[in-house]
């Protein structure tokens, strides 16, 4: 992988860095939240209205795709590239796919 956009010595506004980090964490939470909520939704639908399970599944898929796109466009606070996307590759790792910034490493270096 070659990344021409990495600028490790880039001096950025600390407020912008914090805002981007908060946005990244929020979008990751949304993604994993909507992924995890699948099982409780399907269980509740099976108890209440088993015939509507396919509809509920369809709605969940639509929501999941929207949240996935939204979280895929989260920008890395350090390098400014998409945190979870490198070219056409979308991976929800805990490190930036460009500069290897970890999601727990929220100190600006």
Residues lying near Zn ion in the complex (CB under 5 A):
76, 78-79, 96, 98-99, 101
Select 74 or 96, whichever has its Cβ closest to Zn ion: 96
CB of 99 to Zn ion, least distance (A): 3
Which one, of 70, 102, 103, 101, lies nearest residue 8 by Cα? 101
- Provide the minimum distance between the beta carbon of 31 and Zn ion in the complex, in angstroms, as a whole number: 17
Among 87, 96, 82, 92, smallest CA distance to 35 is for 92
Least distance from C-beta 41 to Zn ion, angstroms? 33
Going from the C-alpha of 23 to that of each of 31, 36, 106, the distances in angstroms are 12, 20, 12
Nearer to Zn ion, 45 or 101 (CB): 101
């Amino acid at each position: 992988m070659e990344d021409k956009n990495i600028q490790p010595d880039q001096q950025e506004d600390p407020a912008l860095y914090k805002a981007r980090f908060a946005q990244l964490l929020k979008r990751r939470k949304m993604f994993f939240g909507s992924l995890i909520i699948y099982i409780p939704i399907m269980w509740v639908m099976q108890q209440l209205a088993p015939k509507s399970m396919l509809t509920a599944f369809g709605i969940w898929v639509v929501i999941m795709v929207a949240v996935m796109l939204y979280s895929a466009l989260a920008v890395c606070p350090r390098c400014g590239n998409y945190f979870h996307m490198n070219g056409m590759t979308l991976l929800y790792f805990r490190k930036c796919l460009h500069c290897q910034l970890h999601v727990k490493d929220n100190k600006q270096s």
